[in-house]
Every structure is written in C-alpha cells, then in structure tokens.
Amino acid sequence: MSTRRTVLAVLLLSGVLALPASGQGYRLRLDSRVQHAAYRGVRLDSVAVGEIVTGPDGGLLTPDGFAVRCVVGEAFCRYFPPGPVRQSSPMVTSADLSLWGFGVAGLSIRANGRLATDLGDEDLWPGNEPDLQLLEAYAEYALPRVNGRLGRQLLANRLGFVGFDGARLAGRVFDFGLQLDAYAGLGLARATALPVTSAALDPLDEFQPRKRGLLVGGGVGYGRRGLDLRLDYQREVGRDPSVLFSEQLALSGFFQPLPHWSFTAGADYDLANTWVGNADATVRFTSRFLSAQGGLRQYRPHFDLWTIWGVFSPAPYHAVHGTVWVTPVRPLQFRGRWERFAYSASEVSTALVRVDDDGWRLGLGASWTAREGLTLDLGYHEEYGPGASSNGVDGSVTWLPRPGLSLSAYGSTLERPLEFRFNEADVWVLGLDAEWEPTDRIRLGVGGAHYQEDRKRSDAAAIDWTQTRLHGRVTLLFGSGADRAPLPRAIRTRPRAGVSR
C-alpha cells in the first residue's frame, strides 16, 4: 500500500468511526507514531584463496583488511563486509473504538486495529506486514454476574497471551468468591493477532499449518480478602482433533497473611510434552521506608507441537533473586536487584568444548523527585551469562514546567564484550523528549536520540553504527459527553536501570 493510500485510509476510517448513530455512546482513541531511523547490516562476500594475506597477528585477511574464513580444499574464502545504509520512516496508526447504547442494556461493541506503513522510498522496517491488522473486534453483553463476548479477542493469563476468533463466557457464582471462565474458537498465532496461516509468518515454511487450529480453554478462580487462587486450562488441536497443537495447565495464587507481607506463586505444566514450564514463588514485604522481595523462578520456553523447536527439548534455567527499595525521605529512593541463574543439563555431549551454564545479573539505582516537578534518576546494571556479558549506566532528568507539559533528557552507556563473537562494542546514547497535552483530548510528543558506537575489531569490519533517530506522536480522543474518559497519564520518566517493580 502506498503512503498516499495509507494516509487516505486512516482519514476515512477516522471519519466513519467518529460519526456514530443518533443516541449511541462512543469513545474513540486515535494514536499515530512515526520515527526516522537508519541502520545497516552485513553481506556475504568471497575472495580467491590466492588473494589472501596474513595480518600482523597471524590472522587471514582480504587485501582491504577484512577477516576471512577459509575451508581447506575450497578455492574461495568467505567474509562479511558492511552492507549499505538503509533509511526508514515507519509510521503506525492505531484506533480503539467502543460503542454502546443500542437499546439493549449491557450490550456494547469494541474494535481495536492498527495500520502500518513506511513513509520512505522502500518498505524496510520489520513488522509492517501485514500493513492493516485487526487486533480485537467483539460484541459484549454484560449482566451483573455474567459477561459474554463474541468475535476476535485477546486474553492474558498465566499461560501467556491468547488470541482467538470465537466466544467467551465469564461469571461469578453468587457471593462465594468463585469465578468461572470458558472460551472457544479458531486460534491465532502465539502472542500475535495474526492467524497462523498468515503470509507474514512465511519463515515457518513447510511447518506452517495450512488451516487454523481449534482452541478451547477456561479457568476457575476463588477470591477472598487476602487470598486469590486460579486454575487455567487450554488445548488447541488441528481441524482433525487427533492432531494436537498444544495442551497446558496452570495454577497461580496470591496470599496476604499480614498487612505488610504477601506471597505469590504459580506454575504451568505442558501436558503435551509432560514437563513443567514456567514456575515462580515470591515473598514481598512493604512498608513506608522499606520494600523488599525475594524468590525463586524457573523459565522454559513453550513451543507448539507443530513447530520444529520442540524437538530440541529446551533446557530451563533456575534463578534465585532479590530486590530492595529504600525510601529514607519521601523525595529520595534507592533500589537494588540481584539474581543468580543456572541452566539445567542439556543432555548434549561436547567433550572438546566447555561452556558455562550459569550467570548473574544486578542493578543499582536512585531517584529523586523535587516539589518543583523535577525528577532525576540514575542507575547501573551488569550481567554475566553463558553467552555474553554487559554493563552500563543510564540516567534521566524529567521536568514538568507547567501542567500538561513534560520535558525529558536521558543518556546511557552500554559495554557488551561478546563471549562467542569476534568483537566488542561500546554504545553511548543521548536523547531528548517533549510531550504536551493542551487538552484532555489531545496529546503531542516529539523527540530524538543519538546513538554512538565504538566497535572494537582488529580488522576492517568495525562497522560504524552511529546514527540519530527522530520520532513523533499524536493522540486524539473523541467521545460522547460525560462518557468520554480522559487520556491515560503519560509515563514521565524512562525505565529505571536494572530494576523494575
């Protein structure tokens, strides 16, 4: 789709959605974001063996200084010179519409979609295909104790993000604290709003199903003051019910025995592969001056049976972690996080190679908020793992000179020596952001960031990745009378280094 047709489609869609029938209530949110970026990769090239030269350190090089890989018996050696610089200006416009007032109490319609394009000469930015995506579109009928939906829906539970085209029914059993949930329909690809048959998933090639699977699932929960328990089940099969895509079971809970203490835990079990997937348990203490949490967790990626990845039997890793927040005075807060992790045995023999199977990560930081609307944040993070290590510092300053206006400056450094690669790199980032909300219906934002990289290589392949990226954003909110809710509050500061709540 050309840029002109894309912009025209957005305008037409906005006009149609903003004109509901008489007597209907509506709420429409339009959000457009655009950025300009440059990037480059590498390309595969070759050179005749007779042209190879030996470098000062004994390595093999091309005549112009690129490190090469030569195979005994072959007439050519291969190397990777820099590719061309590519310019891209991706733009994404999303629309979120809610309609009600159809003459039936409790009936409403919800639709959410996005339109993506590249304003440059070439469509280079990943994720722009398909350019038009329908994320959600369903009719909902809500009663005091029962809620039903029909259409395209996205759910989030212990088993992850679930998408399907079908029906869902949820309700509460009187005042017993018991909650029931059931859904069924044609499944969408994992963690997307695309069917698994979409052309955008072509890299799956011959493993890609030719028809969408049938998804069924549900859950039962119990909630009382200080206690929440939930059991979830989900199964997906092909059009032939004997062809199993996936089957999972999950249990999760929250318990607060004392005012300042809480305990959360959960685990999911892959019934198709007969192993435990993700599991975690965390204890947390919260008070005015001190908050702390610690726990254990296991992570194992989940793959549907029709993919090739499951045959590799992904090894889980286990971790112990702890986080502390200290607030000696209200404007000032210190934080710290530490985690130690180790992978389970992969059951693969590598007699001539020794590879680490454990690692650790930590983060330290502090933030200070002044009464004049000024917030400063500084953090340090470091990580060492089986495949690589990294460390860096980042900081930000955010100022609110007047209500509705936010100005931010941020910077960061990253040093990433790569254990399994030939080079190391240092990256510095400096950026500015501004956001203005003149009314509760409009929000405007602009910003830019400069990325400077020093790639440490002894040959000519030290690619210069230095670039400046610019971005802009416009958010518009339309609504009917008192039913129009204000725009959600913006995030005034950038994510803090190494630690998140």
φ/ψ of residue 183, rounded to 5: -150, 155
Helices (H), 225-297: none
Q: Among positive and negative, which fits the CA dihedral 23, 135, 230, 239?
A: positive
Instruction: Tell me the C-alpha distance between 498 and 394, whole Å.
Output: 10
**In this predicted model, what pLDDT tens digit does every residue of 265-321 receive, in sequence order?**
999 999 998 999 999 999 999 999 999 999 999 999 888 888 877 677 788 999 999
Residue 9 to residue 465: CA distance in whole angstroms: 35
For residues 194-203, average pLDDT: 78
Answer for the pair 472, 89: CB distance below 8 angstroms, yes or no.
Answer: no
DSSP per residue, 382-401: EEE-SSBEEEEEEEEEEEEE
- Phi and psi at residue 50, to the nearest 5°: -65, -15
- 3-state SS, 294-346, equals EEEEEECCCCCCCCCHHHHCCCCEEEEEEEEEEEEECCEEEEEEEEEEEECCC
pTM of the predicted model as reported, rounded to 2 decimal places: 0.82
Domains identified in the chain and CATH numbers: 1-41+83-142 (no CATH), 43-81 (no CATH), 319-501 (2.40.170.10)
Per the CB < 8 A criterion, the answer to whether 465 and 429 are in contact is no
Q: Which among 87, 149, 142, 94 is positioned nearest to 116, based on CA atoms?
A: 94
Task: Give the model confidence (pLDDT) of 324-335 as tens digits.
Answer: 999 999 899 999
Structure tokens, 224: 């009382």
The residue assigned the tokens 């061309």 is 84
Mean pLDDT value of segment 74-81: 91
The CA-based angle 256-262-268, given to 5 degrees, is 100
Count Cβ atoms below 10 Å from residue 188 Cβ, excluding itself.
Answer: 24
pLDDT band at 82 (very low <50, low <70, confident <90, very high): confident
Q: Residue 217: its pLDDT value, please?
A: 96
Q: Indicate whether 220 pLDDT > 90.
A: yes
Peptide bond into 417 cis (omega under 30): no
- pLDDT band (50, 70, 90) for residue 204: low
The answer to whether the Cα torsion of 485, 192, 237, 274 is positive or negative is negative
470-498 pLDDT, tens digit each:
999 999 999 885 455 566 665 544 555 44
Give the pLDDT band (50/70/90) at residue 24: confident
Position 7 scores a pLDDT of: 46
Name which residue leads in pLDDT, 129 or 247. Answer: 247
**Unique residue bearing structure tokens 């079990």:** 269
How do residues 377-403 score in pLDDT, each as one tens digit? 999 999 998 877 899 999 999 999 999
484: Cα separation from own chain's centroid: 29
Give the pairing of strands 107-118 and 53-54.
Answer: unpaired
Average pLDDT value for residue range 29-58 = 89
Specify the pLDDT at position 4: 45
| 348 pLDDT higher than 80 | no
pLDDT at 307: 81
Main-chain dihedrals φ then ψ at residue 40, nearest 5 degrees: -150, 155
Q: Residue 291 is inside which H or E element, if any?
A: strand 290-299
Kindly tell me the sign of the dihedral angle through the C-alpha atoms of 455, 340, 191, 30.
negative
